Amino acid sequence: MSDASYAPRLGVCPACDAAPLAQRLADRAEALAPNRLILSLPDAHCALCITQIEGALMAHSGVRAARVNLTLRRVTVNAPGLTAADLVPVLARAGHQAHELDPDALAQSAGDRAGRDLLMRIGVSGFAMMNIMILSVAVWSGAEAATRDLFHWISGAIALPTVVFAGQPFFASAWRSLRAGRLGMDVPISLALILASAISVFETAQSGHHAYFDAAVMLCFFLLVGRYLDHRTRAIARSAAAELTALEVPRATLISGVVERTVPVADLRPGDLIRVRPGGRIPADGTVLEGQSEIDRALLTGETLPVAAAPGMTLSAGEVNLTGPLVLRVTAAGQDSSLARLTALVEAAENARGRYTSLAERAARGYSPAVHVLAFGSFLGWLWATGDVRLAVNIAAAVLIITCPCALGLAVPAVATSASGRLFRRGLLIKDGTALERLAEVDTVVFDKTGTLTMGQPRLLDPGAIPADLRPLAHALAQGSAHPLSCALAQALEGTPPAVLEALTEHPGRGVSARWQGRDLRLGRAEWLGVADDQDAATLSSWLSVEGQAPLRLDFTDSLRPGAADCVARLLADGRRVILLSGDRAAPVAALAAGLGISEWHAGIDPVGKACAVAALADAGAKVLMVGDGLNDTAALARAHVSLSPASALDAARVASDMVLTGHDLAPVAEALVIARLATRRIRENFAISFGYNVIAVPFAILGMATPLLAALAMSISSITVTLNALRLSGKAR
């Protein structure tokens, strides 16, 4: 549909009006989207890596944008005209290994392999550490001369191969950084491991009293443990993303000429013809060619009523075909479908760019050079003061070990990933990383009504309005249809014996008809019955027609969304201001507000009015969370301090919202505010731990009061403390 051919109209369902506009915007965005390349980054593991990779790519001619996803270890690049072969050497010169991502590879499998590799190296280093510690006990117990040297040599024979093998991730990353002329975070780690090992070999060869093979292996062990904990923390979000695949239809009925066969959805291609039977979920995006039915669009558009489907209508993967068989021509399937785009939002949840992340990146950029300056300064100072090269090298090694920047690098991403993973399991996707920080500042929550506080499960307003003699007829007709209004009517008339009807027939997209004692009966849409419906009514309606009598209008109202009452009550109990803005008439809005305990409500507000209301609140100093369906609330969502949409309006939500509610329950909205405050607190605590540890520990190392072994213990404890502090978000919110 062109812009010129789109004529604005007013209808009873705002979603029906806004859905075509959202579809046109999505189509335009797809048409204008630049070429994208996705490269795998197997060695990326910290905030400094993000800065280096994005900086190197952005400096290359032809690259418009580059965004690293640290959780999935990949970078998405907008670079029209460039290929992976053009960009891989750019990252190699920057000291980072990269290769083109195989779209058929499973990200989870790659993550499992990385986890198994880390576990293997942890096992080797842990086993070696225990054996070396046993030998060290003998030395500490007073072994002298040849016995001590023998134990040192045995320790070295165990430690040196272990450090080479288990430290390979650090050595490889450090070498790539040095080749690129940069001091990455793994450079001081690798230097500390090499120095500790070299000092130990020297001391053993000189029959020295102390060797630090145990420190080198222990340092390697705890570094790997910290890195594995970070890997597992990030894997929380990956496993949560995989849960979305449960919504996908694995197989579809493909029509080939006159033959129908069942094929995997991944084998579908644009232009294929598929058949979708009543009750089935749409397996791919497509256009209806044959058949009429009614479609439940709650998953992707949040429309409160099923939509009549007829030839020419566009349907999306994940929607449910309710009544009649349909033949669709596929327009997008698999990873290109609407449902797959929802899964893609998980990646955006990991790309935090708030002020805390920026602070971590700035600190990491200057941290590595500062560590080397401190270590070199300590070496020169002790060499000048004592003239003892051996002592000076030992102290420099202790400084390098104790100032390992791992804790700083874990401070923000561990918290962000843990929080986003927890919220996703509760049904909430964080689309923008800064949303957590902004969410923690919210003091006012604005709700839309239709599709947000209400669920789209209709309920008959007044069962008593149906005359007693028509109730058996209405019940029998309602039982013959799968339409939600018919189901609601049947539920309301439960207990009334249904009449025995003849020729009961469902007319997809229209209603249901039958005969009773020679009279025609109909239950369905107003236009099918030939009556004029009130398009301005806030209630949903269906019509009952009995031959010889005037049609009877049946009014329905939306059911309350699960968790809405608890969500509002919790927000009010926490002292937040709650406001209801709706385009509906005053009466139903007032009734809903009274039922939820919302004292501030406004009815009859159009989308522009909603945006102006949110802007006025912001101008008054309020930090507003806007919760809307993302279709007719796009302007208000964009103006809010932070915004949230149900998965109902996916296309609009991708443009305007910071978060997406994937489930039906509204309770996670209130919980998200609590988790956001906890996440902000954990980030601050992690920075305090990182900097406080260095303020206390570094002077001890510089003054010669910490051996390399003690430094290894202190550094590892700080990294593990930061990671475990982030994992506290996995617990119950208080």
- φ/ψ of residue 580, rounded to 5: -110, 120
- Indicate the pLDDT class of residue 15, thresholds 50, 70 and 90: very low
Going through 34-93 in order, the beta strands assigned E by DSSP cover 36-40, 65-69, 74-78
Cβ neighbours for 347, distance < 8 A, ≥ 6 positions apart:
69, 71, 72, 241
- Residue 4: per-residue pLDDT: 39
Mean pLDDT in residue range 690-710: 79
- Residue 118: per-residue pLDDT: 83
- DSSP state at residue 663: S
Q: Which of 249-253, 308-312, 593-597 has the lowest mean pLDDT?
A: 249-253
Percentage of the chain beyond pLDDT 70 is 73
Query: Measured between alpha carbons, how far is 108 from 335 in angstroms, rounded to an integer?
Result: 16
Rounded to the nearest 10 degrees, what angle do helices 708-727 and 667-702 cross at? 170
User: Of how many residues is the chain composed?
Assistant: 734
Dihedral over Cα of 718, 724, 728, 729: its sign: positive
Distance of CA 14 to the CA centre of its chain: 28
- Helix, strand and coil in the chain, % to nearest 5: 55, 15, 30
Q: Does residue 583 sit in helix, strand or coil? A: coil
Rg (CA), the chain: 32
Show the tokens assigned to 315.
């349907």
Task: Identify the CA nearest to 270 among candidates 326, 335, 216, 195.
Answer: 335
Show the tokens assigned to 245.
């695949």
Q: Which of 134-148, 617-631, 662-676 has the lowest mean pLDDT?
A: 134-148
User: Would the pLDDT of 242 be above 80?
Assistant: no
pTM > 0.75: yes or no: no
Does residue 271 come out as left (phi exceeding 0), alpha (psi in the -120 to 50 range) or beta?
left
- Residue 26: per-residue pLDDT: 41
- Residue 570: per-residue pLDDT: 93
Catalytic pick from 149, 285, 448, 584?
448
Mean pLDDT in residue range 274-294: 85
- Provide the H-helix boundaries in 404-470: 406-410, 413-425, 435-439
606 as an active site residue: the answer is no
pLDDT in tens, 352-381: 334 434 455 556 666 667 777 888 888 888
- Residue 446: per-residue pLDDT: 93
Cβ neighbours for 161, distance < 8 A, ≥ 6 positions apart:
none
pLDDT in tens, 634-680: 667 777 888 887 765 444 444 557 787 777 788 888 988 988 888 88
DSSP per position, 261-325:
EEEEGGG--TT-EEEE-TTPBP-SEEEEEE--EEEE-TTTT--SS-EEE-TT-EE-TT-EE-SS-
- Residue 444: per-residue pLDDT: 94
- Indicate the pLDDT class of residue 246, thresholds 50, 70 and 90: very low
pLDDT in tens, 549-588: 888 888 887 778 888 899 999 999 999 999 998 876 677 7
- Residue 19: per-residue pLDDT: 37
User: Would the pLDDT of 528 be above 70?
Assistant: yes
How far from 734 is each of 415, 529, 675, 729, CA to CA, in Å? 17, 55, 9, 10
| In the block, residue with structure tokens 């590595």 | 368
Element (H, E) at 173: helix 168-179
Beta carbons within 10 angstroms of residue 145's beta carbon: 8
pLDDT in tens, 192-226: 788 888 888 888 888 777 777 887 788 788 778 76
Mean pLDDT in residue range 609-627: 88
Q: Which of 339-343, 395-399, 417-421 has the lowest mean pLDDT?
A: 339-343
| In the block, residue with structure tokens 């090298």 | 393
pLDDT higher at 629 or 652: 629
Mean pLDDT score across all residues of the chain:
75
